Amino acid sequence: MSNSTSIRNRLRSFGITPRKSLGQNFLTDDDSARRIVRLAGIKPEEMAFEIGPGIGALTRHLAQAARHVIAIELDRNLIPILQQELASVSNMTILQADALAVDFVKLLRDGGFDERSPVRFVGNLPYYITSAMIRRMLEAPLNTRGIVLTVQLEVAERIVAQPGDMSMLSVSVQVYGKPELLMRLSPSTFFPQPDVDSAVVRITPRRQTDNPDALFDLARAGFSQRRKQLRNTLSAGLRLPKPAADEMLADAAIDAARRAETLSIPEWVRLTDVYIQRGYAAAKRSDSSASDSASNSDVPAPTTANSTEL
Ligand code: SAM
């Protein structure tokens, strides 16, 4: 019996049909599951957060490697099958929740673990939560040692892109860490088979700036009109006069005629430093909070940590 037949039978015995709306493509190849966990490099003293365990293809291997696994699955229908599959595993907690909404620090504390415990994230993410989930993992105030994710190949390529092909996604990830594309997975390694290839990406946290919010303000403005020169996109997006945008770029030693996709992370960091030194970042923040409170005094201004677009 092939692996996918056995998974299909197990799902059927629990009356479960994979839900496309939740991105349910389950890994059927145990060798790939072992390899992914090996690539995560989990040490025995480290905690593992698994995002979307599905029916547990990775979970058992994670539990063998980690001190404890906290597996967060949104689909309540999968909880009984997970519990049965992993009944013999003692160092794991299965949680039915939306991984986009949980408080990871609280989960550690509630489990009796120190919130400074070293943690790693592992997940095979549905396409529709990939960007938001990456942002949550990278911004979580945890002692994160690494993140290993299976994502669509095209998304993996965008995450690891280099100057010339940068996007809001690559900047947002690379400001926080170093991403590497480690392995490709064909559709046949999943049941049901997805339409596209997948890839495993590892992100090793390495924060490049102390001012990510200001950097993201700049990047959002820069990428808002991809084909336009930075002097125009920054001036329009940040509501700065063109000569001020030109001077800011000159101070950061960046040609004002370049496009956002060509900038390296050190260049974004340099530009951010100039943006802050010139007082534009503070002016923009007070400008946005003034317009937020003017537009709806009952709704607090969004905290920038939660509002980074990828
Ligand atoms: N890790 C399993 C595997 O490799 O076989 C399952 C991967 S499947 C691509 C994605 C899983 O994420 C599904 O089980 C789905 O129900 C779950 N999921 C989707 N959205 C989620 C969310 N917001 N929070 C937690 N889990 C979610």
* pLDDT (tens digit per residue) in 207-239: 999 999 999 999 999 999 988 999 999 999 999
Q: What is the mean pLDDT of residues 69-76?
A: 98
**Closest C-alpha residue for ligand 1 atom 6:** 54
Name the residue at shortest CA distance from atom 1 of ligand 1: 53
Q: How far is the CA of 190 from the centre of ligand 1 (A)?
A: 13
**Residue 290: pLDDT band with limits 50, 70, 90:** low
Interval 239-256 mean pLDDT: 97
Helix (H) or strand (E) holding 265: helix 265-277
pLDDT-derived band at 131, boundaries 50, 70, 90: confident
| Reported confidence tier of residue 304, pLDDT bands at 50, 70, 90 | very low
If you measure from the C-alpha of residue 302 to the centroid of ligand 1, how many angstroms do you get, rounded to a whole number? 28
Residue 10's closest CA among 23, 22, 28? 28
Query: What's the mean pLDDT when you consider all of the chain?
Result: 91
pLDDT for residue 136: 95
Please tell me the distance between residue 51's alpha carbon and the centre of ligand 1 in angstroms.
Answer: 6
Mutate to test the pocket of ligand 1, among 55, 70, 75 (most ligand atoms within 8 A of CB): 75
- Which CATH code, of 3.90.110.10, 3.40.50.2300, 3.40.50.150, 3.40.50.300, is assigned to 3-205? 3.40.50.150
Residue 293: pLDDT band by 50, 70, 90 thresholds? Answer: very low
Domain spans, the chain: 3-205, 212-284
Q: Give Cα separations from 203 to 26, 198, 206, 281, 282 (angstroms).
A: 22, 16, 9, 28, 31
pLDDT in the model for residue 303: 31
As a CATH number, domain 212-284 is 1.10.8.100
